[in-house]
Structure 1
């Protein structure tokens, strides 16, 4: 018997309120969709927007590209929703995000990128983390992509986006989700397969040649004075 998702209250946050600052300007999101039969150039933009949303700008690399999924999307064999799910379930996404984070951080990151909003509260983060730990990453991704919230906002043919960027908090701005680092701090270096090195030797300082003392400079005689031993 599978564990059902934990009930949690929807705490009141600004990103749950209908947006009123989406006027014509830079805060208005651009929709990437295949509804209107996009051209080849427009399809390139749709694919690029999908990579940027799911992998973030830090991870949009040659190694994260999925040529087979791209080909299926270009020939209308799959929808954008299928393409997004394929990116989330790819080995590259798992290696760069799931393998190097704990469940709480991974859940928060997936909700931001897939549903286009931040986590409501710690209760919701705990509920999704239980699903991730008990049923695995595939069931967790299916839960997000097949959710009513995803279908209402993006459906089958729209690339997910950050639904509300501006949050009015004094002296605190809202960073776009795709600009947030996908990894944790140095406590997870061992999990990232990176050694945590500490240098115990002496530190050598390099001095540019143009800053070296010239002939006759008193600084040249300081070492001589240090070598003199007074009896």
Structure 2
């Protein structure tokens, strides 16, 4: 028997009320296939999808087959997002390096474009992972009314409601607020590392460099340090000092 999704409520009563967001520097850019008219537009949209899901995709991380299907109209943007979420790169970077609760938080941020409402929502989606697996969890997340109403089949997900009227600044981007590795795995790989520099290199102009024969060169400096200087111990008694040999000022 399939376990139904545990019910959870938004963090506030107006959490799902559409608000007025004035255009500004923190307003998210919307990438949709409705604005694609050239190959360069496809490149921009695909790169935006990689940034949203992977944050950064190296050449080896790119899914060329999915990109080709998207360009040819064989799959939708929603299908492309699903392929990225189930790719080996995403699973190794997020699912394998986190527990189910943190993995749910990462996926909700990247797919639904918001933070999780509460711990109850994390538990609800974690139960789905435990009963239906990762693929079933991704399918249910992409099939929610929240995703379809905000992004549909042709829009790349983005962080919603970045501009908040009750704050001086908008919300912190998800990739900065929620790194892909949790504290346990960061400790295992030794991150962050404190690097101490043994020597400080300073720039010296060519005319300030020591020339041949300069006593400051290491060769002459070592030679002077290795030289043995005899020590002379001279003891003079105050009774042997003649006052006539002591200079003084005559008036």
User: Which TM-score band applies after superposition, normalised by the shorter structure?
Assistant: 0.7 to 0.9
Matches within 5 A, 1:195-214: 205-206=198-199
Q: Distance in 2 between matches of 1:204 and 1:143?
A: 50
Which whole-Å deviations, capped at 9, do the CAs of 1:32-57 have from their partners, x for residues lacking one? 1112453111111110110011111x
Q: Distance in 2 between matches of 1:204 and 1:73?
A: 48
Q: CA RMSD in A?
A: 3.1
| Corresponding residue of 2:138 | 141
Q: Distance in 2 between matches of 1:124 and 1:161?
A: 20
Q: Specify which structure has the bigger relative contact order, considering alpha-carbon pairs within 8 angstroms and separated by 6 or more residues.
A: 1
Q: Distance in 2 between matches of 1:24 and 1:171?
A: 15
* Aligned-pair CA distance for 1:31: 1.5
Q: Distance in 2 between matches of 1:125 and 1:94?
A: 18
| Corresponding residue of 2:59 | 62
* Aligned-pair CA distance for 1:134: 2.5
* Aligned-pair CA distance for 1:182: 1.5
Size of the alignment, in residue pairs? Answer: 206
CA, structure 1 residues 23+167, in 2 after alignment: closer, same or farther (shift >3 Å)? closer
Gaps of 5+ in 2: 204-215, 226-251
**Structure 2 contact 163–170 (Cα < 8 Å) conserved:** yes
**Structure 1 contact 113–178 (Cα < 8 Å) conserved:** no
Greater displacement, 165-174 / 7-16:
165-174
Q: TM-score, normalised by structure 2?
A: 0.71
Greater displacement, 25-34 / 74-83:
25-34
**Structure 1 contact 15–167 (Cα < 8 Å) conserved:** no
1:89 is the counterpart of 2:86: yes
Matches within 5 A, 1:28-43: 28-43=27-42
Rg larger in 1 or in 2?
Answer: 2
Which whole-Å deviations, capped at 9, do the CAs of 1:18-37 have from their partners, x for residues lacking one? 333x2232233222111245
CA, structure 1 residues 46+173, in 2 after alignment: closer, same or farther (shift >3 Å)? closer
Which whole-Å deviations, capped at 9, do the CAs of 1:55-103 have from their partners, x for residues lacking one? 11xx322222000000000011111011000110111110011100111
Q: Distance in 1 between matches of 2:16 and 2:115?
A: 10
Report the 3-state secondary structure (helix = DSSP H, G, I; strand = E; otherwise coil) of the residue aligned with 1:53. Answer: helix
